[in-house]
Amino acid sequence: MIVHADAGVLAEAVAARLTTRLLDAQAARGVASVVLTGGRIADAVHRAVAASRARDAIDWSRVDVWWGDERFLPAGDPERNETQARAALLSAVPLDPARVHPMPASDGPDGDDAQAAAERYAAALATAAGPGHQTIPYFDVLMLGVGEDGHVASLFPEHPAAHPDSYGEATVIPVHNAPKPPPTRLSLTPPVIDSAEEVWLVASGAGKARAVELALAGPGPVQLPAGGVHGTQDTVWLLDQAAAAGVPARFRSPLR
């Protein structure tokens, strides 16, 4: 856990961390893969990456971009996570379009059938599956925002879709009646999130303090999804002071 002074410093620090993480992945594997999310602090991170000179050190043509969740809306809808990520960062860097994998839109090939759209994205993940996996690619870093209620991606507390009995072996699921609008979303399931080498939970503001505190208290993954996710190598909480207000000192890095 690393706590930064405020939202501005947090966004810049996470952007620097993401830039370095992608560079290190490319140095080690030749490629890098990142899973993006939506929301305000994620958008601020994307913008900070776009604004940094260091971004040009990354060979963006060898970066795979996936999404952890998406609002199931028509293509180009300003509320889609993809739309916001393209505006904040993706359109500014020389990505290989074939390596950018947005989740289907509600006016795409499956129309408004969220289940079919989820299955389509699951098929895209399987097509890109890496060694040791049949169904999902290797993710160097998976970024998550944290909702005031403790949701991550589109996995909401006590929501039926977030229950293992509901998603089973699925890698991507439709989420209906989401408490955070829009009501219909697509989301990676917890096991897919947990397959990432690093899972970063980024939260800013006093409104997140309770969710962060509860997440660290060891709740069940259905009761509080933010407390249930973890990377295979690292799970990093990246917070500002306000969001970390309820965090016991033992969880904090010596930085603060």
Q: Is the CB of 132 or the CB of 181 nearer to ligand 6PG? A: 181
Burial degree of 132 (CB within 10 A; 0-12, 13-18, 19+): exposed
CA–CA dist 172, 120 (Å, integer)? 9
Q: Which is nearer to ligand 6PG, 43 or 64 (CB)?
A: 43
For ligand 6PG, give the closer residue by CB, 26 or 38.
38
Task: Select 26 or 156, whichever has its Cβ closest to ligand 6PG.
Answer: 156
Q: How far apart are CA 95 and CA 62, in angstroms?
A: 7
Structure-derived torsion over alpha carbons of residues 222, 6, 196, 172, reported in degrees to the nearest 10 = 50
In angstroms, give the least distance from the CB of 146 to ligand 6PG. 6
List of residues contacting ligand 6PG (CB under 6 A): 37-42, 69, 71, 81, 145-147, 151-153, 180
Backbone angles phi, psi at 14, to 5 degrees: -70, -35
Find out whether the peptide bond into 254 is cis, omega within 30 degrees of 0: no
Nearer to ligand 6PG, 58 or 146 (CB): 146
Beta bridge partners of 63: 32
